[in-house]
Amino acid sequence: MRILLIGAPGAGKGTQATLVAERFGITHISSGDLLRKHVTEQTAIGRAAKAYLARGDLVPDAVVMDMLRKPVVAASASGGYVLDGFPRTVAQAEAAYETARGLGVAVEVAVFLEVPAAELTRRLLARGRGADDTPEVIAHRLEVFESKTRPMLDYYADREELITVNGARPVGEVAWSITVQLQRVLKRA
């Protein structure tokens, strides 16, 4: 199965992607985690991405696409993937579709975790991951989501591949909702 998890910063993409990966026996691929790993290891990708991450801006598409190509193809060959944090713009979604279709690894279903802004801010401030969890950078990340990522939801809705889940409930309830809806999609396939 090939799944996307879409949501604003703090919506619970990482938390739920881990559970979905376990439940369906697929690979969890997080663009944010991979970018942070590259920054820590000071690779060429990490050096290109570092300043964007610290500001809460999106890293250029070419850098992200280049980083994800291999892991996505490898995961597709071994049962599937749940992709957390990618794509994040209509342009990324379109480019990913073109590349993935050619390779036979295109996404089957996109899950949007809907959470009110006040709850997102509360969660991120409570977590305090580091440079990008300060009040100013959190506010900017939420603006970037609204202007760049939210319009992408229409792209998946138009293709009838979008499931929306209320992500403002406790972790277990959100996970249950996602599982039930994904099982429905699996039955239809």
Which residues sit at the interface with ligand AP5, rule CB under 6 A?
Answer: 7, 9-15, 31-32, 35, 52-53, 56-59, 64, 85-88, 92, 123-124, 127, 132, 141, 170-171, 174
CA angle at 115 for the pair 111 and 118, rounded to the nearest 5°: 160
Which of 108/114 has CB closer to ligand AP5? 114
Radius of gyration of the chain (CA): 16
Please report how close the Cβ of residue 183 comes to ligand AP5 at its closest, in angstroms. Answer: 20
Q: Residue 72: exposed, middle, or buried by beta-carbon count in 10 A (0-12, 13-18, 19+)?
A: buried
Please report how close the Cβ of residue 64 comes to ligand AP5 at its closest, in angstroms. Answer: 4
Tokens of 40: 């820590």
Distance CA 160, CA 178 (A): 16
Please report how close the Cβ of residue 166 comes to ligand AP5 at its closest, in angstroms. Answer: 10
Please report how close the Cβ of residue 170 comes to ligand AP5 at its closest, in angstroms. Answer: 6
Q: Which residue is nearest to ligand AP5 (CB)?
A: 32
Which of 57/114 has CB closer to ligand AP5? 57
Per the rule left: phi > 0, alpha: psi between -120 and 50, beta: everything else, 160 is left
Which of 17/109 has CB closer to ligand AP5? 17
